[in-house]
Amino acid sequence: MANNLVPAVVLFSLGLGIALMRVPNTESILEKFDILLAGLGELNRLVVRLAPIGIFGIVGHTAGTLSIEQFGLLQGYLLVYGLAGVLLCIWILPALLACCTPFSEREILENSRDMLITSFIIGNTFVVLPLIVDAVKRLVAQHGTDLEQEHATPEYAVQLAYPFPDIGRIMVLVFIPFAAWFYGRSIDPASFPKLIGVGFVGAFAKPVVTVPLLLELAEIPGDIFNLFLAVGVVASRFGDAMKCMHLFAFSILTASILSGTARLNVPRLVTRGLLTSILLIVIVLSTRAGLSLTFTQAYSRQDIVSARGLLGTPVTATIQRQPAPHAIPLADAMDPMDRILSSGVLRVGVHPTNLPFTYYNTDGDLVGFDIDMAHQMARDLGEIKIEFVHFSGDVTESLRADHFDIAMSGLEGTIRLATQLPEMEPYLEVTRALIVPDHRRKQFRSLSDLNKSLYGQNRLRVAVITGGLNSELPTAESALGTGWGAITALGLDERLEIVGVTDASQFFAGQPEIADVLATSAEAGSAWTLEYPEFTVVKPSGLNVRAPLYYLVARNSRFADFVNSWLKLKRRDGSIDQLYDYWILGRHTTHAQPRWCVIRNVLHWVD
């Protein structure tokens, strides 16, 4: 309730109901509601008669708009949740009622058919309540029981059970173990009581409120919540059907108990229990085997980055993994531009693990934002070749040793680089951010929240990339730039421990021994968190820092002037923006073709 997980309307409804119980002459109000309820019942019966048209529309829209690739993404959770819903509605609950009441499974299914179809089509349980009441009355009347005389009217049972958690909302919690299986993780058994308690209380609220909280408690990456939302349109209809069956079963059981017709059939309970157990084992094992063979292969978030190829047309390129001086030394009067044009080779220094700027994809090709830019530069210079040269130490030493003509690897500007290398035009600006474990992201919403979370605790270990791209000693001030002033003002600097890592992969491989968080850019962090979804990128409010990226050359020259002018042209013609959308934002450059359909491809009624 403190986090608004239980909607205020629930408390208001309970309070109003208790208050009306103490007010005299409420019969006049209830009579008017009975007339309204009867009118809604007639409307619902009309909807039931139109149900086949609604089902056809839902199936047709889904089949016409859902691609095979999208279904490969949705099938996992839909299969698990849909099977659970169907099994509960057509077997488990009817079998349980048949063991405790005088009604058979066939009678229960025949009388519940209309309300289940209607709730699935409409996607709203509230408007189906009159159908549930009618179904209970019809079923009980078949056995000659007068509910009015027995004071066991189903209206009261339905109204009593409606505000409380139902099977449909409780079954939503199956998404939590499904998410853990999806990421190949196990949930700590010690957290089960907390998850069950929060899940039950959260069932009073909508699943979109409860599921993110449970994912955080189970320390499961919250990114998978997008999958939950994507399937919500279809999965929620199974949930509505389960809620209707839940209310129907509760009303039947309540009416049977109050009318004295309830009984426990032990032999039937044993046979139904054994059959249900066998059925559950077969379904669970077959579903798990099917998903393991198909679903995990159909969707992998890291493929968004690791399987991506170059956007532009590549030129001939070779890779030199061991750096060495250029085969043609620069004479005193020779400009690097003259050597590039005469030799027909542009040597580019790259750091091979700097996602998403320079890295190797799953096919073993060197790709990334800066690799695409290097190929564009080679084409603009006259279709010359490229030699990519790895570097792992001080980039300034590699440039002065003439290992390559230009360094293109997402290099941020620093004071030392500015004093030792020529002034260059920045080609991109990135936003300073932190990569943190997904379940701790709320601690880093703002610097003040971080200050509160660290109160009385150990120091926060912040990893800073150093050594791989430059040899400067890691400091918090250099890593966080002008945002260091805000940190100092809150006194956070006294509780930060800076840890140097050669590249980001060292931080992820060493968790949790190396550091608690990684200071990097939001652009690079978004790519790394696709590879490691248990982490997320946060930019605490109060830490507003942007850092420019540069291409570096060894000395002032005509080649340096060319690079600066070339970057201005690439910004103006939209090339940099196009590569930013492709490599940083992950957007595709091609539009999906419309699905084949009779209206378009046969009748040609639409384009």
| Highest-pLDDT range among 15-19, 196-200, 348-352, 520-524 | 348-352
State what percent of residues in the chain have pLDDT above 70: 78
For residue 601, what is the enclosing H or E element? helix 598-601
- 5 pLDDT higher than 60: no
| C-alpha pair distances (Å), 531 with each of 61, 89, 237, 302 | 34, 40, 33, 5
Q: Cβ(298)–Cβ(373) under 8 Å?
A: no
For residues 576-600, average pLDDT: 74
- pLDDT value for 262: 81
- 14 pLDDT higher than 90: no
State what percent of residues in the chain have pLDDT above 90: 15
- pLDDT value for 534: 78
SS3 content of the chain, % helix, strand, coil (to 5): 60, 10, 30
So where are the chain's domains?
8-298, 306-427+551-584, 430-549
Supply the CATH classification number for the domain 430-549.
Answer: 3.40.190.10
Q: What is the mean pLDDT of the chain?
A: 78
For residues 556-574, average pLDDT: 93
- 185 pLDDT higher than 60: yes
| C-alpha pair distances (Å), 379 with each of 232, 374, 434, 562, 593 | 48, 9, 36, 14, 31
Q: Which residues of 243-264 are buried (b: 16+ CB within 10 A; e: fewer)?
A: bbbbbbbbbbbbbbebbebeee
For residues 565-569, average pLDDT: 94
- 590 pLDDT higher than 80: no
For residues 41-69, average pLDDT: 65
Cβ neighbours of residue 383 under 8 Å, at least 6 residues apart? 315
Confidence of residue 485 (pLDDT cuts 50, 70, 90): very low
Confidence of residue 490 (pLDDT cuts 50, 70, 90): very low
Fold match between 306-427+551-584 and 430-549? yes
Confidence of residue 512 (pLDDT cuts 50, 70, 90): low
Per-residue tokens: 58: 């839902």
**The tokens 């690799």 sit on which residue?**
371
- 295 pLDDT higher than 60: no
For residues 387-407, average pLDDT: 89
64 or 307, greater pLDDT: 307
What whole-number distance in Å separates Cα of residue 94 and Cα of residue 105? 5
Per-residue tokens: 444: 């880093």
- pLDDT value for 473: 41
For residues 224-234, average pLDDT: 71
467 or 99, greater pLDDT: 99
String of DSSP letters for 574-598: THHHHHIIIIIS---SSPPPPPP-H
- The top-level CATH class assigned to 306-427+551-584 is alpha beta
First and final CA of the chain: distance in angstroms? 52
- pLDDT value for 63: 59
For residues 340-367, average pLDDT: 90
Confidence of residue 44 (pLDDT cuts 50, 70, 90): low
- 550 pLDDT higher than 70: yes
Residue 605 — φ and ψ, nearest 5°?
-80, -25
- 55 pLDDT higher than 70: no
- 356 pLDDT higher than 50: yes
Cβ neighbours of residue 452 under 8 Å, at least 6 residues apart? none
For residues 147-162, average pLDDT: 61
How many CB atoms neighbour CB 349 within 10 A?
Answer: 25
- pLDDT value for 75: 67
- 493 pLDDT higher than 70: no
Confidence of residue 582 (pLDDT cuts 50, 70, 90): confident
Q: Where are the alpha helices (DSSP H) in 22-174?
A: 27-49, 51-65, 68-87, 93-100, 105-122, 129-141, 154-161, 167-171
For residues 476-498, average pLDDT: 55
- 297 pLDDT higher than 50: no
- pLDDT value for 339: 92
For residues 347-362, average pLDDT: 89
Model pLDDT for residues 87-97, shown as the tens digit of each residue: 888 899 899 98
